């Protein structure tokens, strides 16, 4: 993904995504691009209103079209708040997510069973 695509991706996220907890929209500063694996971009969103951190994977097609983002987790708001009180994102966690994405077949429902 080049910087133009990344800009477009961030714009798309801003227009498509709202905080699942309070419904606030995100500004560019709250959208963090963590990395990319194949066609999936790993994004962290920090809510300005309630502070809920959300991880999302977004599949970017080669025609530069962004598909609907998928939230990484179905954990509860309470658990999210709990996570927020710990260290931000450790490098160990990033590795875990990457290996998760590598083996991931796109079926989120299955992945979290
Ligand atoms: Zn929020």
pLDDT 10s digits, 18-65: 999 999 999 999 999 998 887 788 899 999 999 999 998 887 765 555
Tell me the CA–centroid distance for residue 63 and ligand 1, in Å.
31
More confident residue, 110 or 18: 18
* pLDDT given at position 73: 52
Residue 37 lies in a domain: yes
Tell me the CA–centroid distance for residue 74 and ligand 1, in Å.
15
CA distance readout (Å), 63 to 5, 14, 59: 10, 20, 11
Residue 42 lies in a domain: yes
Residue 113 lies in a domain: no
Tell me the CA–centroid distance for residue 52 and ligand 1, in Å.
5
DSSP 20-67: TTT--B--GGGEEEEEEETTEEEEEEE-TTT--EEEEEEEB-TTSPBP
59-97 residue pLDDT tens = 776 555 555 566 655 445 555 555 555 555 555 555 566
Residue 112 lies in a domain: no
Domain hosting residue 20, numbered range: 3-107
Tell me the CA–centroid distance for residue 73 and ligand 1, in Å.
15
Residue 92 lies in a domain: yes
Total number of domains in the chain: 1
């Amino acid at each position: 993904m080049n910087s133009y695509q990344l800009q477009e991706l961030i714009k798309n996220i801003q227009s498509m995504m709202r905080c699942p907890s309070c419904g606030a929209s995100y500004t560019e500063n709250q959208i963090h691009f963590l990395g990319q694996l194949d066609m999936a971009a790993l994004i962290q969103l920090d809510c300005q209103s309630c502070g809920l951190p959300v991880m999302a994977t977004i599949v970017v097609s080669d025609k530069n079209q962004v598909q609907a983002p998928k939230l990484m987790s179905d954990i509860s708001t309470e658990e999210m708040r709990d996570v927020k009180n710990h260290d931000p994102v450790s490098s160990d966690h990033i590795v875990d997510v990457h290996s998760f994405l590598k083996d991931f077949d796109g079926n989120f429902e299955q992945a979290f069973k």
